[in-house]
Structure 1
Amino acid sequence: MGHLSTHVLDTMNGCPAAGMRVTLEALDHDGSARTIKTLTLNNDGRNDGGPLLNAETMAVGRYRLTFSVAAYFREKGVNLPEPAFLDVVPLEFGIADAAGHYHVPLLVSPWSYSTYRGS
């Protein structure tokens, strides 16, 4: 029953972050990362394929979602300095219950972001 999902909202433009690239990685005990999937968010700022992890693929452990923020805003025509204040936003989090629902929303602009464990 467990699953992991994300949803990204562009707070500069007041819309979902359609087209943003996101990478999901599992973090191993030795500090190395293993890419699970890379995706592009749909028009609603979500993954077209449903959950990033589902009941079959959820496992207790450490994970990282990396959001390509600067590339997204540049594609929207925002004139960002080089280097951009926010280039990529990495969010590291733990899954303690493989049967739980973990939702990781991101509210983002070129200059700030916030996240929380959603429902």
Structure 2
Amino acid sequence: MGRLTTHVLDTALGKPAAGIRIELYRVSGNSHRKIGEAVTNADGRTDAPMLSPLKEGHYELIFFAGDYLRTSGQAAGEVLFLDQIPIRFGIADAEGHYHVPLLISPFAYSTYRGS
């Protein structure tokens, strides 16, 4: 059975990013339908897969990084350079394992398809 997992690493502090809220949406054209939500644990991971079983299609994870950056003391103020970070991706193999990690700092982020 396929599954979608994620984790968040704070590259500025060199540690997992705990307490980040993540929302998962199924995307069809301009329509977004929220299908899941989780918060990262002390290891920067969610306690359960974001989605399982998988369905082929387009999805978007939104990472609420601004709250984490404020709490960790790395950012302040109402307007942040990075606040909500959306990552849109496709699932072509419903039997596969899709791992979408996020590496963040106050002024940059990156992602990749992990294993």
Residue type of the alignment partner of 2:73: G
Aligned counterpart, 1:39: 38
Kindly report structure 1 stretches of 4+ aligned residues shifted beyond 3 Å. Answer: none
Q: Contact conserved, 2:75 with 2:106, CA < 8 A, in 1? A: no
Equivalent residue letter for 1:94? G
Structure 1 CA distance for aligned equivalents of residues 16 and 83 of structure 2? 18
Which residue does 2:81 correspond to in 1?
85
TM-score, structure 1 length as denominator?
0.91
Distance 2:16 2:100 in 1: 14
The alpha carbon displacement at 1:75 in A equals 1.1
Gaps of 5+ in 2: none
Residue of structure 2 equivalent to 1:4: 4
Q: What is the alpha-carbon root mean square deviation over aligned residues?
A: 1.1
Question: Once the two structures are aligned, what percentage of the paired residues are identical?
Answer: 53
- Unpaired stretches in structure 1, ≥5 consecutive residues: none
Matches within 5 A, 1:103-118: 103-118=99-114
Counterpart position of 2:52: 54
Match of 2:16 in 1: 16
Deviations 1:1-46 (A, max 9, x none): 21100010011111111001110110123x1111111211100111
For the structure 1 residues 63 and 19, does the alpha-carbon distance in structure 2 shift closer, same or farther, using more than 3 Å as the test? same
Deviation digits for residues 27-79 of structure 1 (CA, Å, limit 9, x no counterpart): 123x111111121110011111x211113xx1000000000111111011224
Q: Which residue of 1 aligns with 2:27?
A: 27
Separation of aligned partners in 1, 2:77 and 2:107: 11
Determine the C-alpha separation between the residues in 1 that align with 2:86 and 2:60.
6
